[in-house]
């Protein structure tokens, strides 16, 4: 993934609020942005913001800023991504943690931030900008015609560990091993997996390393099957609390069905050892990965049982083509939603 090049600030002043989209933030500005994020998300550990934006692991972060009275009063950070769009390599942006200072809410800052960001991305040729809004922010995207909500992601749940189909993968596949480092050779597996879908993020070694091995707070369990330098499959998971029950979450799956079956069995066993009583996975249906889940005893949880809906919204230049309105066209996982 290439680092985002520095560019001049783009500014829009409306209603006393000045909005700008920046790639060239200095350390002082990043500090003030992180301070504002901490006001909005006090329960989040402080190291998260540095991991997500301050380290610049995936390139210089692009951020939309709102200023008033000489201070930053709103911020829309993003993660730049290498993606597929209708089968072609492109650039996309994931919006994360839009926030307005408590003293400046109800002044349209949310809409100004996300609109300014998306407009700049479109002018520069980005394929799309997307996010997973919560119930509070979702209505804001619904009110803006340029944003689409083609679907929400289903949650697959396995209610009883130890039930369902056991792995029948052959011993020739080897034994799943913990991953301590992702080298560039995993990019072949990532491209093969992403290449089966017209749209979605390409998970290269830099992204996988940052996303699951460098996270400052979450001890992800990351397992792989390898044949020498060849990566056969990768899974990642972690413990979550779901409706008061300690559960395991499958957040990433890369590989062929036989490899994934063996890896999921090992992941389920490890998370059960750490206290998980159930398992969950956020994954569109109608694909080899979801068929593996189904064979292992996972079922889609009815919408009325969800504690929250996993909305997926995006804004694409020229709109979302009909072929990409079906979730089966997308390579999306819990890892895309599970940022903080």
- Per-residue pLDDT tens digits for 191-250: 999 889 999 999 999 999 999 999 988 899 999 999 999 999 999 999 998 878 899 999
Q: Domains of the chain by range and CATH?
A: 10-131 (3.40.630.30), 155-308 (3.40.630.30)
The percentage of residues in the chain with a pLDDT greater than 70, rounded to a whole number, is 91
For residues 170 and 262, give the distance between their C-alpha atoms in angstroms, rounded to a whole number.
Answer: 9
pLDDT for 74 equals 92
Region 91-112: mean pLDDT is 88
Grade residue 186 by pLDDT with cuts at 50, 70 and 90. Answer: very high
Inform me whether the pLDDT recorded for 297 exceeds 70. yes
Residue with the larger pLDDT of the pair 75 and 46: 75
Query: How far is Cα of residue 19 from the mean position of the Cα atoms in its chain?
Result: 25
Q: Are 235 and 178 in contact (CB under 8 A)?
A: no
Beta strands in 86-229 (DSSP E): 88-95, 99-100, 128-131, 148-153, 155-158, 177-178, 199-201, 221-227
The percentage of residues in the chain with a pLDDT greater than 90, rounded to a whole number, is 54
- Per-residue pLDDT tens digits for 115-170: 999 999 999 999 999 999 988 888 888 888 889 999 999 999 998 776 545 555 44
Grade residue 12 by pLDDT with cuts at 50, 70 and 90. Answer: low
Q: Are 250 and 289 in contact (CB under 8 A)?
A: no
The 10 Å Cβ neighbour count of residue 124 is: 11
Q: Are 279 and 158 in contact (CB under 8 A)?
A: yes
Average pLDDT over the chain reads 87
Structure tokens at 39: 């006001």
For residues 56 and 51, give the distance between their C-alpha atoms in angstroms, rounded to a whole number.
Answer: 8
For residues 53 and 161, give the distance between their C-alpha atoms in angstroms, rounded to a whole number.
Answer: 37
């Amino acid at each position: 993934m290439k680092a985002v090049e520095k560019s001049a600030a783009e500014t829009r002043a409306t209603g006393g609020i000045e909005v700008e989209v920046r790639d060239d933030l200095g350390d002082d500005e990043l500090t003030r942005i992180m301070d504002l994020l901490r006001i909005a998300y006090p329960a989040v550990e402080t190291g998260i913001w540095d991991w997500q934006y301050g380290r610049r692991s995936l390139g210089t972060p692009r951020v939309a800023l709102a200023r008033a009275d000489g201070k930053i009063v709103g911020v829309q950070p993003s993660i730049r991504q290498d993606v597929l769009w209708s089968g072609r390599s492109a650039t996309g942006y994931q919006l994360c943690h839009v926030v307005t200072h408590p003293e400046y809410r109800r002044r349209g800052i949310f809409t100004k931030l996300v609109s300014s960001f998306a407009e700049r991305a479109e002018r520069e040729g980005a394929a799309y900008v997307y996010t997973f809004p919560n119930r509070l922010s979702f209505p804001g995207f619904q009110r803006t015609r340029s944003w689409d909500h083609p679907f929400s992601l289903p949650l697959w749940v396995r209610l009883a560990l130890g039930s369902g189909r056991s792995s029948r993968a052959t011993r020739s596949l080897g034994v799943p091993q913990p991953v301590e480092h992702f080298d560039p050779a995993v990019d072949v597996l990532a491209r093969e997996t992403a290449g089966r879908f017209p749209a979605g993020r390409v998970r290269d070694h830099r992204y996988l390393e940052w996303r699951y091995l460098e996270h400052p707070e979450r001890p992800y369990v990351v397992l792989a099957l390898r044949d020498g330098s060849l990566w056969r499959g990768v899974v990642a998971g972690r413990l979550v609390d779901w409706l008061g029950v300690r559960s395991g979450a499958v957040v990433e799956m890369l590989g062929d069905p036989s490899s994934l079956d063996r890896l999921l069995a090992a992941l389920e066993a490890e998370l059960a050892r750490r206290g998980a009583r159930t398992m969950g996975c956020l994954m569109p249906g109608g694909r080899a990965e979801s068929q593996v889940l189904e064979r292992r005893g996972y079922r889609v949880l009815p919408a009325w049982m969800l504690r929250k809906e996993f909305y997926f919204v995006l804004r694409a230049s020229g709109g979302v083509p009909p072929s990409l309105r079906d979730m089966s066209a997308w390579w999306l996982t819990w890892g895309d939603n599970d940022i903080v």
